[in-house]
Amino acid sequence: MSESVITPKEAAPRLSSLFSRAYLFGTLMLGGGIMLHAVETYITATLMPSIVRDIGGLSLFAWATTIYVAASVLGSTFVAVRPEGVTLNRCYVFGAVLFGIGSLVCAIAPTMETVLIGRAIQGLGAGFLVALGYAFIRFVYPQPLWSTASTLYAAAWGIATFLGPTIGGIFAAGSDWREAFALLIPLSILMAVSAPKLLPSGEGERVTTKTPFVQIVLLVAAVVMLSFASSVTAPALRAALAAAAVIGVVVTIAIERRAEARLLPAGTISLASPLARVYLIMLMLLVTVCSDVYIPYFLQVLHGVTPLVSGYLVALLALGWTAAAFSTAGLKGRRANRVIIAGAALEALATALLVFTLARHNPAGDLMLLTLATVFIFLMGFGIGMGWAHLVTHVLHLAPSGETDKASAAITTMQALGAAFGAALAGIIVNSTGLLQPGGTEGAVTAARWLYAVLALPAALAILLAVTLPPEKAAPAD
């Protein structure tokens, strides 16, 4: 499909171009896979306070996100290092089936530990689906539509901002949350059955290497140690686990620099590589935005918001991402880079301002205070959305010859690591600053203030990297 010829007019970054006859089925499948992941994300965000009220496990709250995204690293990596003969559409089937199995485990889980097992299986499947969304772009669309196809994912997340919280809010009472997970099972089956019929095989030029097993194990271990650090109560043990996680990342980088079996494309370990800087920007922006894992909890505990409304409010973050993606999709060259910088600055500022709005006890339901917090939640998403599609386009253009699959899968790896480290760091911060001890309203206020003050910093650091990016390449006119 990628050989199809389009006119310059059709190459304009308009979402409607993706729904022409030539691309319709591919668009529906890729958008559907992202949608399945996105809707589930907001269902879980809305339901987590209800789940811990029903079966306990508040200290494991952040684990539901961390273990999900840690598992997705494994799924996304397999897409890049899959054995010869395993096509991309077969990977899609496998990912959809795993997602459905994980949803089933969550639906029948008697304890929080079992929920986490289901979330791990879901995450593994989601890693396949999201990585395949990026990997399929070059097979389904011509190059002038790559940036627009990346915007498609923002559209999927935008729709999910309404569907996810609605489904989660409807099933938030008592043990009804189980039914929300059960709804995802038939959708997963539908996607698995449709993939071989509606998607190209996805075989093309790629460099075949051994699986970077050691690097994967070390990264996942680092995420798990950070997650343990977020749930233990002893300060010394928490510090030791956090230090071990940092060592794991450093060792991974050292191995990746010299390894024959690489997790990332060649040359992306050094900051001298523009592709390395793009990946690092993605990682830091996502660490900051994943401070949203506790937004529903703080809205319900500090502002007296219902589960349904809190789900919609946190979903405004994704809505902001979607709105920004559409409004900036047409920018090219240095203008695209400038919007990446501006977006990182806006995300950092909006996150920091939640210290003064969301991190306040609001028993009277002061509408002005809640409105300001809502605006900043929206702007967090708007900031990252301003530059995300352009960062994706940078990756596709900067990928070394023959390593496009690996470069595309690495986008999902960065997303997964950013979300995993962001959620784990969020857990460490809130559990260290009062959420569990003294707990209650006082502890929640203190924890929220520290959380948003500290996690605004990664997005601020991303600004410094963004100013060094080369101009985005223009697509050739066919």
Residue 175 · residue 47 · CB < 8 Å: no
Tokens 């989660």 label which residue? 168
Residue 241 pLDDT more than 50?
A: yes
Q: For the chain, which residues make up each domain, given as ranges?
A: 19-466
Q: Domain 19-466: give its CATH code.
A: 1.20.1250.20
- pLDDT in the model for residue 445: 93
Residue 193 · residue 70 · CB < 8 Å: no
Residue 116 · residue 63 · CB < 8 Å: yes
Band of residue 1 on the pLDDT scale cut at 50, 70, 90? very low
Q: Which pTM was predicted? A: 0.73
Residue 473 pLDDT more than 70?
A: no
Residue 4 · residue 142 · CB < 8 Å: yes
More reliable by pLDDT, 14 or 332: 332
- pLDDT in the model for residue 189: 93
Range from 8-22, 134-148, 360-374 carrying the lowest mean pLDDT: 8-22
Range from 141-145, 278-282, 378-382 carrying the lowest mean pLDDT: 141-145
- pLDDT in the model for residue 358: 94
| Top-confidence range, 29-43, 165-179, 200-214, 338-352 | 338-352
- pLDDT in the model for residue 448: 94
d(C-alpha 230, C-alpha 222), whole Å: 12
d(C-alpha 400, C-alpha 206), whole Å: 10
- pLDDT in the model for residue 257: 84
Residue 280 pLDDT more than 90?
A: yes
More reliable by pLDDT, 430 or 83: 430
For 94, residues 6+ apart whose C-beta sits below 8 A from its C-beta are: 125, 128
Residue 161 pLDDT more than 70?
A: no
More reliable by pLDDT, 357 or 84: 357
The rounded mean pLDDT for the chain is 82
For 372, residues 6+ apart whose C-beta sits below 8 A from its C-beta are: 353, 357
pLDDT digits (tens, 9 = 90+) for 2-46: 333 334 444 444 667 777 777 888 888 888 888 888 888 878 877
For 472, residues 6+ apart whose C-beta sits below 8 A from its C-beta are: 332, 333, 336, 337, 390, 393, 394, 397
| Top-confidence range, 56-60, 84-88, 122-126, 412-416 | 122-126
- pLDDT in the model for residue 474: 53
d(C-alpha 66, C-alpha 323), whole Å: 27
- pLDDT in the model for residue 114: 94
Residue 365 pLDDT more than 50?
A: yes
- pLDDT in the model for residue 15: 66
In percent, the amount of the chain with pLDDT more than 70 equals 91
Range from 19-33, 206-220, 268-282, 349-363 carrying the lowest mean pLDDT: 206-220
Residue 382 pLDDT more than 80?
A: yes
Band of residue 478 on the pLDDT scale cut at 50, 70, 90? very low
Residue 204 pLDDT more than 60?
A: no
C-alpha angle 243/227/184, rounded to 5°? 155
CA distances from 253 to 314, 319, 369, 466 (A): 34, 35, 44, 21
User: Which residues are bridge partners to 472 per DSSP?
Assistant: 333
pLDDT digits (tens, 9 = 90+) for 54-83: 888 877 777 787 788 778 777 877 776 676
Residue 209 pLDDT more than 60?
A: no
- pLDDT in the model for residue 69: 74
Residue 450 pLDDT more than 60?
A: yes
Range from 209-213, 392-396, 432-436 carrying the lowest mean pLDDT: 209-213
How many CB atoms within 10 Å of residue 260? 7
Q: Cα 452 to the chain's mean position, in Å? A: 18
d(C-alpha 404, C-alpha 251), whole Å: 25
Q: Cα(first)–Cα(last) distance of the chain, in Å?
A: 14
In percent, the amount of the chain with pLDDT more than 90 equals 26
Written as six digits, the tokens of 350 are 């909006």
Residue 151 · residue 99 · CB < 8 Å: no
More reliable by pLDDT, 316 or 152: 316
Residue 159 pLDDT more than 80?
A: no
d(C-alpha 268, C-alpha 465), whole Å: 14
Band of residue 199 on the pLDDT scale cut at 50, 70, 90? confident
Written as six digits, the tokens of 93 are 């089937």
More reliable by pLDDT, 454 or 73: 454
d(C-alpha 31, C-alpha 19), whole Å: 11
Residue 286 pLDDT more than 80?
A: yes
More reliable by pLDDT, 464 or 399: 464
In terms of Cα–Cα distance, which of 440, 170, 130, 185 is closest to 311? Answer: 170
pLDDT digits (tens, 9 = 90+) for 109-119: 999 999 999 99
Residue 386 pLDDT more than 80?
A: yes
Residue 85 pLDDT more than 60?
A: yes
Provide φ and ψ at 437, rounded to 5°: -140, 105
Count the residues in the chain: 478
Band of residue 352 on the pLDDT scale cut at 50, 70, 90? very high
More reliable by pLDDT, 27 or 345: 345
